[in-house]
């Protein structure tokens, strides 16, 4: 059964297509009323496949339910889908720019605090380094396992604020 995973794990630099949304929508609209209630939504925006918590899934439902009638209409769902895609693309783009600066874009490479400090100006241009957060602080924030080395997955999760699109499930 197709879920919204096709959208949340887009092919890099590829837009999300309406056909992907439609096939995911209709496979979960069990009563075919062109609305998803919370139960149908929970199947479509599946926490296990999308790497979000159940709480995040239901927060997404509330975001998508623009008129707050406890169901997401097809148009509300599509608008949410497009907005989520645009925001994900912006965040992923920011991560790719960061990683290009600190590790020449090599996903298998790592970066250290010294590299971050040497690239402070470029990181400031991205808006990741600010008056209240210097390059060393940014590095410490992103280095989730505190091992002094930043892997691309840590940087991606830290910059995007999500696992979706940063971690591949095999």
Instruction: Locate the domains of the chain by residue range.
Output: 17-88
- Length of the chain (residues): 170
Residue-level pLDDT at 71: 96
pTM of the model: 0.63
| pLDDT of 25 above 90 | no
| pLDDT of 12 above 90 | no
- 17-88 placed in CATH 1.10.238.10: yes
CA distances from 168 to 43, 49, 96, 139, 153 (A): 21, 11, 16, 23, 10
Residue-level pLDDT at 164: 64
Under the banding of pLDDT at 50, 70 and 90, the label for residue 90 is confident
* Span 33-47, pLDDT tens digits: 999 999 998 888 876
Question: Contact 7/24 with Cβ under 8 angstroms?
Answer: yes
Residue-level pLDDT at 7: 39
| pLDDT of 162 above 70 | yes
Residue-level pLDDT at 11: 42
Instruction: Work out the mean pLDDT of the chain and round it to a whole number.
Output: 82
Under the banding of pLDDT at 50, 70 and 90, the label for residue 97 is very high
């Amino acid at each position: 059964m197709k879920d919204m995973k096709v959208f949340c794990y887009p092919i890099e630099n590829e837009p999300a297509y309406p056909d992907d949304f439609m096939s995911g929508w209709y496979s979960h609209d069990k009563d075919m009323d062109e609305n998803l209630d919370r139960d149908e939504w929970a199947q479509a925006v599946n926490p296990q496949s999308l790497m979000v918590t159940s709480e995040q899934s239901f927060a997404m439902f509330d975001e998508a339910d623009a008129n707050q009638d406890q169901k997401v209409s097809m148009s509300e769902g599509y608008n949410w889908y497009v907005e989520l895609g645009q925001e994900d693309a912006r965040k992923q783009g920011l991560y790719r720019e960061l990683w290009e600066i600190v590790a020449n874009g090599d996903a298998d490479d790592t970066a250290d605090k010294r590299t971050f400090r040497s690239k402070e100006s470029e990181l400031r241009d991205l808006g990741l380094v600010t008056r209240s957060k210097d390059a060393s602080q940014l590095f410490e924030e992103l280095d989730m396992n505190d091992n002094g080395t930043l892997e691309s997955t840590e940087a991606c999760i830290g910059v995007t604020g999500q696992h979706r699109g940063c971690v591949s499930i095999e």
